[in-house]
Amino acid sequence: MRVSLRILTLLVALLAALPSMLHAQTAEEKARIAEQRKLIEQLEKQVEEEESARDIIDQLRMIDCNKLGLYMIDKEMAARVYSTPSPLVKE
């Protein structure tokens, strides 16, 4: 898995803040912790998306100009399932 240096640096910084997150007392600290957790989730999603994009690019490079290979990749991508959050879910 290849992860960009910027994302890796942010993850390390957030993980370093984890011990203080476990002992939060004030409402301000709890709000900060909630924001940090949300940021971690967003970073994890970004890493997954980058990995997925790299996999697709690698597959396209591998098949070069082969029409059958392109057709197979198209079928594989069409079969993917995307889950969209409910509009009732508050972020």
Residue-wise pLDDT for 31-85, tens only, equals 888 898 898 888 888 888 899 899 999 999 999 889 999 999 999 999 988 777 6
pLDDT at position 71: 93
Please report, as a single letter, which amino acid is at residue 10: L
For residue 3 the two structure tokens come to 């992860």
User: How far is residue 26 from each of residues 23, 38, 72, measured CA to CA in Å?
Assistant: 10, 19, 55
pTM over 0.75: no
- Rounded Cα distance, 20 and 29, in Å: 9
The size of the chain, in residues, is 91
Stronger pLDDT, 31 or 88, i.e. the higher one = 31
Sign of the dihedral through C-alpha 38, 42, 44, 45: positive
